[in-house]
Structure 1
Amino acid sequence: MNYYLAKAGLDFFIAFGVVIGGAVLAGIGSVFMLLPPASMMVSTASNLKIWAIVAAVGGSIDPIRVIESNIVDGHLSPVAIQIAYIGTAFLGAHAGTELVKLICKGTV
């Protein structure tokens, strides 16, 4: 059980970090390109959300394959675990997006 919680925690923070890091670097790049950094950060955070989830859960089709093969075999426990990992990664990506929106709130 401890392994599953640790992996879920890592998935959360990986997705959170992808969104925050991508948004911050987009903001820095927009300064060099003479674009408004706050609006660029918010739009980049929103666009990165799905990719942060994909990166956190493994970056490939493997989690979907695990869900499909275990449903066909009738094993629902691994399916629930994979869905929980995806949900946790979504929460991390969403938290990162909301933090970027909160930071840039007054300037967009």
Structure 2
Amino acid sequence: MNYFLTKAGLDFFIAFGVVIGGSMLAGVGSVFLLTPPTTMMVNTAVNLKIWAIVAAVGGSIDPMRVIESNFVEGHLSPAVLQIGYIGAAFLGAHIGTELIKLICKGAA
């Protein structure tokens, strides 16, 4: 159980960091390119959300294979753990996106 919480926490923060970091850097880049930074930050956060989840859970199709192979064989525990990791990553990416929207709300 301790390993699950550690890995789920890391997946959460990796996804959160991808969205926040990518959006902030997109905002900085948009200033150099003379485009509205808040619009760019929000659009980037929304577009990065799915990729943040993918990066957090391993960056490939392997998590889906784990779910499929274990579920077909009747081993539900590894499949449920993998779904939990994906859920934690989704939560991190979603909170990061909502935070960027909140930050940019007053300026947009």
Is the pair's TM-score, using the shorter chain for normalization, greater than 0.5? yes
Letter in structure 2 aligned against 1:106:
G
The aligned residue for residue 34 of structure 1 is 34
- Aligned position for 2:70: 70
Q: CA deviation at 1:44?
A: 0.2
Could you tell me the percent identity over the aligned residues? 79
Q: Distance in 1 between matches of 2:23 and 2:86?
A: 21
Q: Which runs of 5+ in 2 are unaligned?
A: none
Calculate the TM-score normalised by the size of structure 2.
0.99
1:106 offset after TM fit, Å? 1.3
SS of the residue 2:106 aligns to: helix
1:3 aligns to 2:7 (yes or no): no
How many aligned residue pairs are there?
108
TM-score, normalised with respect to structure 1: 0.99
SS, match of residue 78 in structure 2: helix
Other structure's SS at 1:40 match: helix
Question: Once superposed, which parts of structure 1, at least 4 consecutive aligned residues long, lie more than 3 Å away?
Answer: none
Q: Unaligned regions of 5+ residues in structure 1, if any?
A: none
Q: Distance in 1 between matches of 2:94 and 2:48?
A: 10
Cα RMSD between the aligned structures? 0.5
Question: What is the aligned partner in structure 2 of residue 105 from structure 1?
Answer: 105
Give the SS at the match of 1:23.
helix
Q: Please name the residue that 2:89 is paired with.
A: 89
Q: Deviations over 1:26-72 (max 9, x none)?
A: 00000000000001000000000000000000000010000010011
